[in-house]
Structure 1
Amino acid sequence: MANYSFADRLGRARSMQAAIDSFSPAFDPADESLSATAFAAMLDELETMNAAVDQQLDQYKTGVDERKAMLKDLQLRAGRVLSLINSNQAWARYQRSVKSVVDKIRGNRPKSPKPPSGSESAAQTKNRRTGHRSFAEMESHLNRLTATLQKIADYDPPAPELSIAELQSLHTALSTKNLAMVDLDQELSMKQRDRAAAYDGERGLREQMKAIKAAVRAQYGSRSSEHAAVSGIRL
C-alpha cells in the first residue's frame, strides 16, 4: 500500500477525532481505550510512524541514486583502464585478463531493487534481495581488476583516479554502500510491517475506528447527528 494511502487513512481518522471532540454531551465510551484522549494519542503515534517510514524511504531512494552514480563511475574508470593497458605494448600479456574483467564490469547492469512496500509477495522480496546481490557482484569484479593491475610492476597511470589505490578506495566505498543499502532495506521493511500492524492488526486503527462507531451508536443512538458524523467515515 502506497504511503499516501496511509496518510489518507490517518486523515480520515483525524476527521473522526474532530467529530467526537465536538460532541455534546461529551463522548464517554464504556471502554476507556476508545476515549477521545486515547484515540488522539493513537493517531499521534501513527503520524510518527508515517514520518519514520517516509524518512527511511527517502534515505533508501537517495542511496539508490548514490549507488548508481558509483557504478557509472566504476564502469567509466574500468573502460579507461583498459584503454591505458591497450596503449602500452609492454603490457600486452595483461590485455586479455584486464579486458575479461572490464567486460564484466561494463556489461553488468544490475537494476536497482525497488524499495520494500510492506505488502509484497515472497517472490518480490526475493527479487529485491537478488538485486542487492547483483550490485555486490560488482565489488568482486573490481577486486579482480585491482588484483590484476597489481601484477603489472610498472603500472603508474597519469590519471590518479585510475591508480590502484583510488580503485581500491572506490571498492571500499561501493562495499560500504552495498552493506548500507541492505541495512536500509531491512530497517524499512521492519518499519513498514510495524505500521501495517498498527493500522490493520489487532487493536489497530481499523478496529479502533470500527469500535468507536459502535460506541457512538450505543451512546447517542443510530439516528443521532453524532452517529451520522462518524458512520460515513471510511475505515
Structure 2
Amino acid sequence: MTKTLTTLGFDADDTLWHNERFFRITQERFADLLSDFTPQDHLEARLLEAEKRNNGHYGFGVKGFVLSMIETAIEVTQGRVPACVISELMAAGRDMLEHPIELLPGVEDTIRELSKSHSLILVTKGDLLDQERKLAQSGLGEMFNWVEIVSHKTPDIYTRVFSQHGDGAARALMVGNSLRSDVLPALAAGSWGVHVPHGMTWALEHAEPPVGAARFAEIESLDFLPDLVRNIG
C-alpha cells in the first residue's frame, strides 16, 4: 500500500526549540535602556515598524533585529542616543547568538520516531550561521535528511523543496508554530499544514487560521504529531 505522506517538513525556531523568548528578553532590555527618551509602548511600535522596513534588507534573525534596534534608538532620541547604549545593544545581540539551545518538550522523541518512517526536512528562515549553529547544538541534525535555510517561506519555496527532496508537495506535510510562514504557504503549495501554537509568536508572524481547509490541522504539541501522521496515512 502506497503511503499518502512520505515527507515531513519542520520549522525550527519555536517549533523545535525556544527562540522568541530571547527576543522578548532583549526587547525588555532595549526598553530599559531607552526609558529616559520614550515610553515602552511607543518604542515597541517604532521597533516593529523598523523590522518591517528592514526584513527585506537584513533578513530575519538576530542580526537584523539588532540593526533595527539601533536604528530605532537613533530615531527616537533624534540622534542623541549615547554610544554606551549602542554598545549595550550590540552586546545583547552577541548574547542571543551564543545562547544555548533549549529543545521544546517532546521534540527529540517525536523527531526520532518519525525519522524511522518518513523523510524529514528542516525548512527554516533566518541567519545562515546562526541557524546552522542552533541545529548543530540541538543534536537533531543527524535525523534530518535535508536542511533548507531560506530568506522567506513561500508556496514556491515549499513546492521546490518538497519536489527536490521528496515526492512532491501533495505527499508532504509542513509543521510549525507560524500560520503565516509555516502553514498558509504550505497549504497553497498543496501540502498538509500543521500548526503547533507557541506561547510567544512574533507580531509579524500573526495570521488567521485557514478554517475549513481540508489539509489543515492544529495540535497542542509535537507529541501529537506521530498519531496525526499515522491517521493521514
TM-score norm. by structure 1 comes to 0.31
Identify, as 1 or 2, the structure richer in strand: 2
Q: Larger % of helix: which?
A: 1
